Each structure stands twice: as C-alpha cells, then as structure tokens.
Amino acid sequence: MTSLSRRPADPVVGQSIPHESAALHVTGTALYTDDLTTRTHGLLHAHPVQAPHAHARVTRLDPVPALAVPGVVRVLTAADVPGVNDAGVKHDEPLFPSEVMFFGHAVCWVLADTLEAARLGALAVEVDYEPLPSVVTVREAIEAGSFQGGQPRLERGEVDEAFVAAEHVFSGELDLAGQEHFYLETHCSLAHVDEGGQVFVQSSTQHPTETQQIVAHVLGLASHAVTVQCLRMGGGFGGKEMQPHGYAAVAALGAVLTGRPVRLRLTRTQDLTMTGKRHGFHAQWRAAFDGDGRIQALDATLTSDGGWSLDLSEPVLARALCHVDNAYWIPHLRVDGRIARTHKTSQTAFRGFGGPQGMLVIEDVLGRCAPLLGIDPVELRRRNFYAEGQATPYGQVVRHPERAVACWEQVLTTGELTERSAAIAAYNASHEHTKRALAVTPVKFGISFNFTAFNQAGALVHVYKDGSVLITHGGTEMGQGLHTKMLQVAATSLAVPLSLVRLAPTRTDKVPNTSATAASSGADLNGAAVKDACEQILDRLRAVAAARLGVLAEDVRFEDGCARSASGGAEVAWTDLVGEAYYQRVQLWAAGFYRTEGLHWDSTTMQGSPFKYFSYGAAATEVEVDGFTGAYRLRRVDIVHDVGDSLSPLVDLGQVEGGFVQGAGWLTLEDLRWDESSGPSRGRLATASASTYKLPSFSEMPEVFNVALLERATEDGVVYGSKAVGEPPLMLAISVREALRQAAAAFGPAGTQVDLASPATPEAVFWAVQQARGAGQPPHTVPVVRGGPRGVGVAPERADPEGHPLRPHSEQVAAGRGD
C-alpha cells in the first residue's frame, strides 16, 4: 500500500463527526457572501437590465433616463470595460452584449445606493431591439443544423459487422431533461478596491482562481492585482463553477469605476432565468444483443443542449460519452456527440457533469429491451457487467470490477430482493388499479477531471508556537463537507487532536492556481496536498524530537499528540516540541502540492486513461403507481455505495442520500419548460420560480431509506484509502425511473414494454400506464411481429420504397419514433 493511502492507528479520519459548520448552519450564524454586505460601508447595489427577447440585436441603449432616478449612481455598459468585454473562458460570452442570445440576457447593469433604486433605474434604461430568429429546442437545433464546439466520436470494435451478426437488434430515441441547480444561495459577489488599487472580491464561487482570472481579464489587470475569497457557498452543484465569473466581474468593474463597494446578488427569478442548468440531451440509439442477452454493439448519437455559448459543454459531452457504458461491457461501440446551439441560458456543469446523461442512455436501452428479450431486467443488467481485465471503450482498464458485483450482491441480499419480488407479484395480481415494481441499477463513475491539467491542488499549513494549526487549501466548501474532511486529514497527518486544527477561508492569495472544486475530486486532490504539507512539517520536527529523545530521526513516531521513540520510553508533547522547534529556528509552515499520477487523455481520439479510479454503487428502488392518475410513491430504497475507506462516514452518508434524492428529482419531478411558441415571449423560461418548478421535498423521500457504505474497499493511491462521493450517488436514482417503467408496464400483459419520458412526472407515468393497457404499443411505435430469420422475437426487415431490405437482420423499434 502506498504511503498516501496508509492510515495510522486510531486516526481522526474515519470518525463520524458532524460537519464543521453544522452548528453555525442550524443557528443561522454561518456567514455567506451576502451576509458581509451589512458590515460594508458605502455599498452600491447592482441590478440588471434584462432583454425581453430570445434573440435580438441591440440597436439603441440610452442609460441617461436611469441617472435621473434618485439614488442611481452609474449604469455600466460595454463602453466602461477597460479590459476585454468577455466573461467566458472560450471568449464567446460578452459581458455586455450587443446581440441578445437568450430571454433575460443582461445588456447592462445599474448601480445605486439601494436595491430598490437600482431596480427602478433598470426600468428607466431605454433599449431598442431588432428581434432575430431563434432556436429554442434541441430538435429545432438538429433540424436547423445549429451546432457549436467539437463533435467527438467514441468508437471501438467492428460495430457494423456486430449488428449484422446479432440475434436481436433494437432501436430507440430518448429526450433527457435538464435540471435547475436551485442552490439555496443565489449567485452573489461583493467587490471593493483598497488604497493600493488591489481589487478584492468575495464571491460564491466553486472556482476562485478562474473567477480571479476573468475579473482581471475584464479589468485589464494582472492576476496578482485581484484577490478572490470564498467563505462558503449555500450550495453549488456545479452551477457555481463557471457562472459566477461574470457577476464578480460586474461587481469589480463597478467598484473600480465608482470607488465604492459593489454588491451583486441575483434574486431567485433572476438566477433561474440568467444562469445555466444541467444539459438536456437528445439520444438516438441502436443496440444489438446475442441470444443470451449480452450486449454486442451500441451505435448512438448524443446531442446536448449547450444553450447560447460553450461554457463547459464540450467536457460535459466528453464525460457523457465516456459513461455511456456505465457498468457494462460493450465490445463494439460507436457513439457520436454534438452540442446544439440554442437561444437559452448557457448550460453548464451539474453534479455528474454529463455522466448521468450518458448512463441514462444505456440504462434506458436495457430497461426497454429486457421485456422484449424476455429476460428479467435485474438479470439482464448483471449478465452484462464488466469482468476483470476488460477495458472501457476509451481504452482504460476497469480496475476492481468485483466491487460493482459486491455492491450489487449486497443490495440484493440486504434489500431482500427475492422475497419482495414475490410479494410484489402477488400484490400486482390482486390489485387492478395500483401496481408495484422493484428495479436495481448499478453505477460505475470515473473520478478525475477529463482535462488532465486540472488534476492538481495546493495547500498551506501553519503551525503556531502554541501548537495550534491553521490550514488553507484550494477547495471550496458548498455544504458537501470538504472542509470537515480536510480538518480530519490534517489532524491525522500531524497526529494531533482535531481541536488543535482550524481552517481558513479559500482565497487566491493563499493558495494560487487552484482547480475548481468539482469532478468529485475535492477531497482526493486537496486532501493529498494537505497531507503533503503536514508531512513536510513533521519531517522537520522529527529531527528536533530525535535530539530531544536521544534516538535516530527515523525512529521517531508521532502519535496521540506526542513524539515518541518507536521502541517506547520517553516522549515529548506536541506543544513542547513545537515550542522547542521555534527556538531552534525550524520552519513551522509548509506549502503542500499534489498532482494525480497515471492520467492521460487525448480528446481528439477520445482515448486514454482519464480517471484515477472508478466509484461503484448499486440501488434497489420499490415504487407504487396509481393507474388512475400516474401518481406514485417511493416505498423503499436500498443503496450500497463504494467510498473506499471513508474519510468522514457521516458526511459521506449524507452525500449519498442527498445525491440520490437530487437525482430522483431530476428524473421524476424537475420539469424545465421554455416557451416554444412563436409569440413575443418565445424562449422565456416558464418555470422561473419555486411555485412552477417542483423540487424534491420530504414528501418525496423514500418511506424506507437504507444506505450502506461498502466495507473492505481501500483504494490504494488515494488519500487515506478513500474515494470520491460527491457525484456518483446521483446516478443511483436511475433505479427510480426504471422501477416506474416496470410498474407502468405491469398494467399490461406479461412482457409489455413501455416508453417513459424524462422526467417521469405523474403525467408521464400516466401515459406509460395507458400505453401498457394498450399492450405496449403507442401510436408512433412500429408494431412487433413475432418470428424472424433466426426464430427470435423481432420485427420484419425494414425496406426501401422498392422493397429492398435495409439491413441483413431484422430490427425491432423499442421506443420513441424509431430510427
């Protein structure tokens, strides 16, 4: 085992302790960015002027009337930008646009003494627009050929030949919904300039370094002239990885031009209408199976809805392609990806970062095809799991595939699948108008940034003369417990009580050039950097302790707040040792650094080993569906998830539970709707409040919710043998959707296959039930014809208008409009 993974006896890591800010959270005393405004004198408030068109050209902008509004100080426009008028890393996001690209796009910002004055000033700004044609949906973009960015292809094997030789071929189509982050704290920045011209920005950001870079870029300054600090975030989920930069830049620009602090905080409606969301996807697929139900080939095209600019759409698409296999061996695969350009908010990172969309495609394939193959969905999935020695379509060997099996088998056992399946069958046989179902789905999720350079981190550890410890690292806290884990890592590394360690806010003048707290890698990267810094300090203290104890330096052990000889005997307390080291002029601070080794990725060929390891999990979900309304209940959920050797079990359990519920919201409740009409409100977000956008609540929680962390799962080469936990659990919620599909199908005869929209709202489930009652044939699905060239259940060959077959073997259209 590597030294990075090895744990000492009785470590602080692995202990179930509360979140480090839990008491502050529940008492309302935790400070967030906007809480600092009450402590700031002479504050100005920023308010946007939002365009009422999905796509338009700004032909006139007159800020003068706004300046007549009492309290208005300034109106910020493109003419005020001293640097570059752009807030994106791809240079495709004008901060003050001359061309409106989505409904609600901010064309300028009003600064005033009060928020109300800023709002009234924004209403007074006169803007003329020339409306332009708009593209609102992915299907419209496909028809118009409206795409942006690269169009990668992931390919392995002989796909066309595999389809020719296959026993069964199915095809389908799927629309995957996006998702609103709906973090409790909306986007917020507070900027001021000190007497030396240094710009200081407090920002609710997952990526302080990139926020720093964009602010400097807009102001025409070097990065050292801008400092960004993130105290904590009230949720992020990926929505604050790229999107905060422009708002921070507006606040900073206002502070530089007026000499006064500027606060920019979006209202909930502004946040919903102006910021990016999870990418919606459109997928078309063909899948081939052999006679035993093993996947032979997959041919698919995934089109993501990127919105008006690229943002992170390219890496999101790449990760979707890299996760289209989920936990399954697919020997022949070809998946094409493309990014639609639509006139909507620029869609961005969201927990899972394309992985959920990719996984949902293959799970949809298996869920639709299982009844057509006559194989139980649980058995079909298990039959196709990766085995030792097999590699992903992009060429990375799948390490520890037995852990996926272990999670699967444990959840089947502890979830009492056999007994409950029999009980469900009996229930369904005796209940005409309600049906139950139990579905099990796995997760295999790669951990690391696909972009190799981002897999690095830094930390700064100070040991003071009294023995107390202060740590700063490059990760940000958004409620996920990263700071809690870093405190535990530092206390374990230094062998001191947790009470001696404190953590300082994340800021760019303490740890520079940081990566975003994203990709589930925060603890892996920053934990290793913290450990490195602590070990540097211990190496220096070891020499001091050796002289004090009269032993060799290599014989000194740090344990229980003391330094002692490996052979026992005398010891010196930590505080005494630190004090002595100070008087000997020994450096008591260190900058730690970590880079993830063994990664390589070629984005042009979509080949390499982009991930340090895979996280595994399995979930079994039981639902009950009302046949009259499509309403449903989550009766029980059982989860087994692999987090390695947990750094902080209480935190990890919370992450698994929260991730699952958020995933269930995406797949069943959260229905983003834009106005697709040709009227003046075309492109407007219709679900722009909590009253129209339904979030999971306590009433949607499973009635029984069992979560277990996989035991004996040490991950070598990762800090203290742990694994990431932020994103992978979200995809366990696919089991909810598959259970709803099976419950709806249970309203029809045995072997019924149904389509199920995403999100699977009660309305969508109702229509699936209606389809099942019609023997599984929606009006737009090609009817099933029994019998085929090999005696299996397939549809007849497709033919051209002259009757010539289009494929050597038959296909059955599994869903949607076919292909």
Closest by CA position to 774, among listed 749, 740, 806? 749
Could you give the CA distance from residue 12 to residue 491 in angstroms, rounded to a whole number?
6
Could you give the CA distance from residue 524 to residue 644 in angstroms, rounded to a whole number?
12
Q: How many CB atoms sit inside 10 A of residue 139's CB?
A: 15
- Give catalytic residues, as residue numbers: 727
Q: How far is CA 535 from the centre of its chain?
A: 32
Q: How many CB atoms sit inside 10 A of residue 307's CB?
A: 26
Q: How many helices (H) and strands (E) does the chain have?
A: 19, 31
The two tokens of residue 247 are 């708002």
The two tokens of residue 722 are 């742990």
**Secondary structure class of 33 (helix, strand, coil):** helix
Could you give the CA distance from residue 644 to residue 627 in angstroms, rounded to a whole number?
42
Amino acid at 31: L
- Asked if omega into 759 is within 30° of 0 (cis), the reply is yes
For residue 584, with 0-12 CB atoms within 10 Å meaning exposed, 13-18 middle and 19 or more buried, which class applies?
Answer: exposed
User: What residues contact 39, with CB distance under 8 A and at least 6 apart?
Assistant: none
Strands (E), 104-251: 106-112, 126-131, 147-148, 153-156, 168-176, 188-193, 199-203, 226-230
Cβ-contact 276, 306 below 8 angstroms: no
Contacts 24+ apart (CB under 8 A), 379-382: 379/293, 380/293, 381/327, 381/328, 381/440, 381/441, 381/442, 382/408
CA dihedral 494, 496, 499, 500 (to 10 degrees): -60
Helix (H) or strand (E) holding 697: none
Could you give the CA distance from residue 208 to residue 285 in angstroms, rounded to a whole number?
40
For the chain, the helix, strand and coil percentages under 3-state DSSP, each to the nearest 5: 30, 25, 45
Dihedral sign computed on CA atoms, order 48, 51, 54, 55: negative
Amino acid at 544: V
Could you give the CA distance from residue 154 to residue 731 in angstroms, rounded to a whole number?
21
Cβ-contact 734, 425 below 8 angstroms: no
User: What residues contact 736, with CB distance under 8 A and at least 6 apart?
Assistant: 439, 621, 623, 634, 637, 663, 664, 667, 668, 760
| CA separation, residue 224 to residues 261, 335, 471, 509, 514 (Å) | 20, 43, 22, 8, 14
| CA separation, residue 234 to residues 130, 240, 241 (Å) | 39, 10, 14
Could you give the CA distance from residue 302 to residue 285 in angstroms, rounded to a whole number?
9
Could you give the CA distance from residue 322 to residue 317 in angstroms, rounded to a whole number?
9
Terminal CA-CA length for the chain: 51
Could you give the CA distance from residue 217 to residue 390 in angstroms, rounded to a whole number?
46
Cβ-contact 611, 325 below 8 angstroms: no
Pairing relation of β-strands 262-265 and 226-230?
A: unpaired
| CA separation, residue 102 to residues 97, 129, 132, 253, 310 (Å) | 11, 13, 11, 23, 14
**Locus of tokens 């697709």:** 676
